[in-house]
Amino acid sequence: MKSLSGRFRYNRLASAFTILAILSTGILIGSVVAHKVHGQESQVNSSDATPLKIPAPRDLSTDFTKIAKEVSPAVVNINTQILPKQRRHGPHYMQPWSNPQQGPPDDGNGDDDQDQGPQGGLQDFFNRFFGMGPGGGGGAGQPDEGGGQERESLGSGFIVDSRGYIITNNHVVDKADRIFVRLASDPEGNQGRPAKVVGVDKATDIAVIKIQSDKPLPTVKMGNSDGAQVGDWVIAIGEPFGLAHTVTAGIISSKNRTVEPGTSGEFQHFLQTDAAINPGNSGGPLVDMAGEVIGVNTAIYTQSAGNEGIGFAMPSNTVIGVYNQLIGPEHKVIRGSIGISFQPNPPSAVARVYGFKSGVIISAVTPGQPAANAGLKAGDIITTIDGQSIKDGDELVNIISSHKPGETVDIGYLRNGQQMHAKVAIADRDKVMAAMNAAASGSGGEGGPGQQGGNVSPARLGITVQDLPQGAPAGLHGVLIQSVKPGSFADEIGVSNFEGGVIVSVNRHPVRNVQEFQTIVAGLHSGEDVVLEIVDPQHPNAGNEYLGGTLP
């Protein structure tokens, strides 16, 4: 008799053979059936089948369709060329990349003439994404160091005058040796018509170019960007990656968006949209549902060198003002200035300590310029211009810059809590900025550790300071910031970024040495606003910084 384990093995083996036999039979039957069905295909009578017909085209036009048809004829392709380096007699010129099959150039270099945007998401803003980097919309990239072939870039623009005047971005045509414009009606492969630059404005990245035509050209209708609202439908038209007449749609995501810090972004307050904007769209129109241009597509925020739904367009109201000056006799934008600098967004504690609800606190006044000549000083708070209340720095810049050099404005300001007024002449902003840069770059003497005074580290603030060293700039008073304790109050309000700077006042009280600083700090209480006025000792004329917060 077989053992129990032997029977189990035998039964398992028999079962396995049975399963294989069944599977084999099923496969054979399926094969025969399939073969039989296949063989009968030609024998099916299909005489009762009705042939399909291509229907007559239906007009499914939407507002998007109508707008695209109306606006597209006035949207142009802009092709620029920059000659090889060996054929130039001048400085190093950056070149664009426009052919998606070529791959991007090495974008490790930038243009010294351009301010770099925030790193990471903005892709160096104009210079890299729409200028110097992958997909460049014009005026950038790495030239052929071997002096080989000419380099080209592609961008967009739109005709605003039937005589051939075209608006685009400055970075599309910047440093180009040759500019060609291809109209929507021109055949594919046509290089286009030669164009000349009428004028450019780097502050808004707007350029006006012109082509010749023996007949009137189609134009766009300009709209009022102030009427645009968040959530409104918009259409972007251009030539992304050189793909002609591309139309994308989205909405207005935000208004008055500033993405460049400091003076480089003073005139760049964008409409933000999620309409797809890609390399080559730069300079093309952003159109509302009335078919009117409310913006010039300029840049995108991206971490992938492609569209991620955050695009920026210069508002049409700004563009119209710039255009009207560029087509004028001087072909340039002239803006007014009074020669001051200010902190764009000071902490709310600064307004409370200095006693104002709205206005702009002056950081520096450039010697010899209108504000200084009128008696304004650092620490004064501008509250009105010609009787109009000033809310913030953007409003101040917009009002002053709109005035022509030679005009005079009445400026209302606070000094030590007292309301005062001054008549201030307006000067040319370009000339004032040159003077301000010269004043800010002046060295203020030697820094480094001092040999006098003792260190103090007030626990309430978390700052270690010392008296000013020998060789400090004449007229500068205060205490030198040696170190800031991590996680302290001073660290929280940003003093860590100003180590080596000089604290010249605390809560408007002047500081001349460590003893005065220690006395003032000892009198501070929890829940009290604290504002430190800080100066860079190496560039004392560059402007004061106001840091503040509420003491825990």
Q: What is the CATH number of the domain that holds 545?
A: 2.30.42.10
Q: Is residue 33 part of a domain?
A: no
- Phi/psi for 105 (5° steps) reads -75, 175
Q: Are 397 and 531 found together in one domain? A: no
Domain of 294: which CATH number? Answer: 2.40.10.120
Kindly state whether residue 348 falls inside one of the protein's structural domains. Answer: yes
Q: How far apart are CA 31 and CA 378, in angstroms?
A: 94
97: tokens are 């990349």
Give the confidence band of 7 by pLDDT, cuts at 50, 70, 90: very low
pLDDT tens track for 9-44: 444 444 544 544 554 544 444 444 444 555 555 688
Residue at 43 is within a domain: no
Q: How open is the CA angle 124-242-273, to the nearest 5 degrees?
A: 50
Residues 305 and 405 in one domain: no
Write down the pLDDT at residue 452: 38
Closest CA to 445 of 336, 537, 332, 552: 537
Question: Out of 82-96, 152-166, 267-281, 527-541, which region has the weakest mean confidence (pLDDT)?
Answer: 82-96
User: What is the pTM assigned to this prediction?
Assistant: 0.68
* pLDDT per position as a tens digit, 313-355: 999 999 999 999 999 999 999 999 999 988 878 889 999 998 8
Closest by alpha carbon to 374, among 426, 336, 323?
A: 426
- CA–chain centroid gap for 321, Å, is 20
* 426 and 519 part of one domain: no
CA distances 419 to 355, 380, 505, Å, are: 11, 10, 21
Range of the domain at 481: 463-550
pLDDT of residue 211: 97
- 282 in active site: yes
Q: CB neighbours of 357 closer than 8 A, spacing ≥ 6?
A: 351
Q: Decide if 274 is catalytic.
A: no
DSSP helix/strand/coil, 222: strand
Instruction: Please indicate, yes or no, whether residues 198 and 259 belong to a single structural domain of this protein.
Output: yes
Q: Which of 429, 389, 434 is nearest to 413 (CA)?
A: 389
State the amino acid at position 286 in one-letter form.
L
Looking at the fold, whether 241 and 321 belong to one and the same domain comes out as: yes
Tokens of 62: 């939407």
- Among residues 171, 274, 341, 394, the one annotated as catalytic is 171
In degrees to the nearest 10, what's the CA dihedral of 519, 525, 531, 535? 30
Of 111, 201, 205, 529, which is the active-site residue? 205
Instruction: State the chain's mean pLDDT as an integer.
Output: 78
Task: Indicate whether 306 pLDDT > 80.
Answer: no
Catalytic-residue membership of 539: no
Percent of the chain with pLDDT over 90: 47
| Sign for the pseudo-dihedral over CA of 26, 29, 30, 31 | positive
Question: What CA–CA distance (Å, rounded) separates 116 from 173?
Answer: 18
Average of per-residue pLDDT across 230-234: 94
Same domain, yes or no: 340 and 315 = no
Q: Which of 282, 316, 363, 488 is catalytic?
A: 282
| Per-residue pLDDT at 240 | 81
Q: For 354-370, what is the mean pLDDT?
A: 90
Task: Report yes or no on 457 lying in a domain.
Answer: no
Q: Between the CA of residue 133 and those of 95, 137, 166, 171, what are the distances in Å? A: 9, 9, 25, 12
Q: Where are the beta strands (DSSP E) in 393-462?
A: 408-415, 418-425, 427-428
Q: What is the C-alpha separation between 22 and 20, in angstroms, rounded?
A: 5
Give domain status of residue 158, yes or no. Answer: yes
Tell me whether residue 421 is in a domain: yes
- Asked, for residue 456, whether it belongs to a domain, the answer is no
Same domain, 318 and 347: no
pLDDT tens-place string over residues 269-289: 899 999 888 888 889 999 999
pLDDT level of residue 175 (50, 70, 90 thresholds): confident
359 with 229, same domain: the answer is: no
Position 247: which residue type?
V
For residue range 483-503, what is the model confidence (pLDDT) as tens digits?
999 989 999 999 999 999 999
Q: For residue 300, which of 274, 265, 263 has the smallest C-alpha distance? A: 274
H-type alpha helices, 141-260: 170-173
Strands 292-300 and 221-222: parallel
Say if residue 238 is in the same domain as residue 289.
Answer: yes
Q: Are residues 109 and 243 in the same domain?
A: yes
Report yes or no on 355 lying in a domain: yes
Residue 121 has pLDDT above 70, yes or no: no
Domain limit, last residue, from 327, 359, 383: 327
Find out whether 272 and 254 touch, Cβ atoms under 8 Å.
Answer: yes
Q: Which of 84-98, 229-243, 313-327, 477-491 shows the lowest mean pLDDT across its residues?
A: 84-98
Number of domains in the chain: 3
Residue that finishes a domain, picked among 301, 327, 353: 327
Kindly report, residue by residue over 371-428, the tens digit of the pLDDT.
999 999 989 999 999 999 999 888 899 899 999 999 999 999 999 889 999 999 999 9
Of 440, 472, 500, at which residue does a domain stop?
A: 440
Q: What is the DSSP pairing of strand 360-365 with strand 340-342?
A: antiparallel
Please answer whether residues 482 and 502 qualify as being in contact, where contact means their C-beta atoms are separated by less than 8 angstroms. no
Are residues 345 and 363 both part of a single domain? yes
Report, as an integer, the average pLDDT of 167-190: 90
Residues 421 and 525 in one domain: no
**Span of 286-295, 454-463, 477-486 with lowest mean pLDDT:** 454-463
How high is the pLDDT of residue 276? 86
Handedness of CA 93, 98, 101, 107 (dihedral sign): positive
